C-alpha cells in the first residue's frame, strides 16, 4: 500500500498525459489550477478526507504550500463534475489494474449509499427510495482489486448492468463469478454465457428457474464441497464494502447525479489504491 501511495503522483501524471483536449484556448475565467494532474491530486485528497466541502476547504488551508493555490468549497464541489478529472480517474483505474495480476475469478455484490445523515443503508429495513444510491462492484478474488463498477439511483440491477458493461469495455476475461441470490435468474446467467462459471444459489422455486441453470446444478451435484467453498468466497465483496464505508464514508453528500456517480467511483478507485494484496483460500 505504501508503495502504491508513493507512486500515486506518477500514476496520476501518466493518466493525465493520456488526455488530449481540442479547445486549448477556453473562453471565460482561466482555471485556478492549470495542471490537470495537480487538480486530480487535489480532488483525490479532498475525497479521501471524507468531509464536507466546507471542512475540506479549511483543512486544505494547511496544505496550501503543497497545492500552491487557495480553493473554495464550491471549487471542490465542481471537481466532481469536471470532465477532465473524470477522464484521469478512469485512466488511473485502468493503470492500477494493469500493474496487477488479475486472476479472472471474481465476486460481485451491490450495496447502497445514503444521501442523508439520518438514514443508514445497513439498518434501514426498506432500503429503497430516493434517499439511497446503489453501487455494484466486481472484485478479483486473488488480488482484492475492484475490476468493475456501476452506479444507479434506481436499483442494484441497473448498477450491475453498468459494472458488467465496464468489464467488457476493459476487455477483462471472466473465468468465474460468484453472486448472491438477488442475481439468481436465468437472464443474468445468459449474460455470462458458457465460458464463465457462475457460482450462485438457486431461488426456492427451483422447478421454474429454467435451462440456464443446468450447468450450475451440474457443478453442485458433481462436487458440492468445492462449489460451496468457491461460493462463500463472495464474503470478500461484503468485507470490501464494510471496510470501504468505514474508511471512505457511507454518505454521499453530492446532489447532482453525475457528481454522485463520481463520488462512488472514486471510492472504488481509492479501494484499489489502499487495499493490500490478499489471497483468498
What would the pLDDT profile of 140-151 be if each residue is shown by its tens digit? 999 999 999 999
Identify the CA nearest to 44 among candidates 67, 61, 18: 67
**C-alpha dihedral sign at 124, 134, 96, 107:** positive
Whole-Å CA distances, 189 to 72, 179, 226, 238 = 48, 10, 20, 21
What is the rounded CA–CA span in Å between residue 116 and residue 132? 8
What count of other Cβ atoms lies within 10 Å of the Cβ of residue 27?
5
CATH number of 102-264: 3.30.420
- Give the model confidence (pLDDT) of 11-69 as tens digits: 999 999 998 876 555 555 667 778 899 999 999 999 998 888 888 888 888 877 777 77
pLDDT value of residue 224: 93
The series of mean pLDDT values per 10 residues for the chain, 281 residues long, is 84 92 61 85 91 86 76 92 96 93 94 80 62 94 95 94 96 94 85 90 68 84 93 92 92 93 96 69 47
User: Which H helix or E strand runs over 139?
Assistant: strand 132-140
Decide: 154 and 134 in contact? Cβ < 8 Å: yes
CA–CA distance, 74 with 119 (Å, rounded to integer): 25
What kind and span of H or E run contains 6?
A: helix 2-17
Give dist(CA 199, CA 30) in Å, integer. Answer: 53
Amino acid at each position: 500500500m505504501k508503495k502504491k501511495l508513493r507512486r500515486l503522483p506518477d500514476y496520476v501524471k501518466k493518466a493525465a498525459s493520456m488526455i488530449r483536449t481540442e479547445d486549448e484556448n477556453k473562453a471565460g475565467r482561466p482555471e485556478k489550477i492549470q495542471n490537470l494532474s495537480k487538480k486530480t491530486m487535489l480532488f483525490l485528497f479532498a475525497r479521501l478526507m471524507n468531509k464536507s466541502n466546507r471542512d475540506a476547504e479549511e483543512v486544505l488551508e494547511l496544505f496550501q504550500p503543497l497545492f500552491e493555490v487557495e480553493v473554495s468549497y464550491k471549487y471542490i464541489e465542481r471537481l466532481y463534475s469536471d470532465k477532465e478529472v473524470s477522464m484521469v480517474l478512469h485512466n488511473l483505474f485502468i493503470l492500477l489494474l494493469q500493474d496487477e495480476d488479475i486472476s479472472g475469478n471474481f465476486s460481485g455484490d451491490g450495496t447502497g449509499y445514503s444521501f442523508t445523515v439520518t438514514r443508514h443503508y445497513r439498518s434501514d429495513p426498506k432500503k429503497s427510495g430516493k434517499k439511497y444510491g446503489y453501487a455494484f462492484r466486481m472484485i478479483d478474488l486473488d488480488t482484492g482489486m475492484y475490476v468493475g463498477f456501476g452506479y444507479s439511483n434506481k436499483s442494484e440491477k441497473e448498477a450491475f448492468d453498468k459494472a458488467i458493461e465496464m468489464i467488457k469495455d476493459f476487455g477483462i476475461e471472466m473465468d468465474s463469478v460468484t453472486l448472491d441470490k438477488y442475481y439468481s435468474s436465468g437472464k443474468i446467467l445468459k449474460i455470462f454465457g458458457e465460458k464463465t462459471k457462475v457460482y450462485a444459489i438457486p431461488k426456492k422455486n427451483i422447478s421454474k428457474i429454467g435451462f440456464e441453470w443446468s450447468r450450475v446444478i451440474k457443478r453442485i451435484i458433481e462436487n458440492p464441497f468445492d462449489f460451496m467453498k468457491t461460493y462463500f468466497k463472495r464474503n470478500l465483496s461484503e468485507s470490501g464494502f464494510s471496510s470501504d464505508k468505514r474508511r471512505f464514508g457511507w454518505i454521499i453528500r453530492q446532489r447532482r447525479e453525475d457528481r454522485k456517480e463520481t463520488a462512488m467511483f472514486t471510492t472504488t478507485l481509492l479501494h484499489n489504491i489502499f487495499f493490500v494484496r490478499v489471497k483468498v483460500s
